[in-house]
Amino acid sequence: MARAPSGSMDASTEAHELNKLLVETGERARLKEYVMATLKECGWQEDLKKHCVEVIQKKGVEKITMEEITAEIAPKGRAMVPDSLKVDLLNRLRGFAEEQGLESQVKS
């Protein structure tokens, strides 16, 4: 189900098309499973869980809101994702985009 090159599509349209193709082909679900498994293998989930507990204990269970937890945890969680996983995921997305005729879609 390869697509014709997308020479005239803007970045937003290309992103939408890429996401649509990822969902339609099941590739999005496969990539999500891969990311989750890799994060679990490297201990990311456990490390983030420990950080959550520390934040809650520091602020106090009765005094902290979900918004405060999210504001503290989300940036730390993103920063803790291994660079090797980010690079591998980007390469997989590039490969998929090229197979689908969206070569210009995924850029570094």
12-61, pLDDT tens digit by residue?
888 899 999 999 999 999 999 999 999 999 999 999 999 999 999 999 98
The torsion angles phi and psi of 21, rounded to 5 degrees, stand at -65, -40
Its pTM stands at 0.74
Report the largest interatomic distance among the alpha carbons of the chain, rounded to a whole angstrom.
56
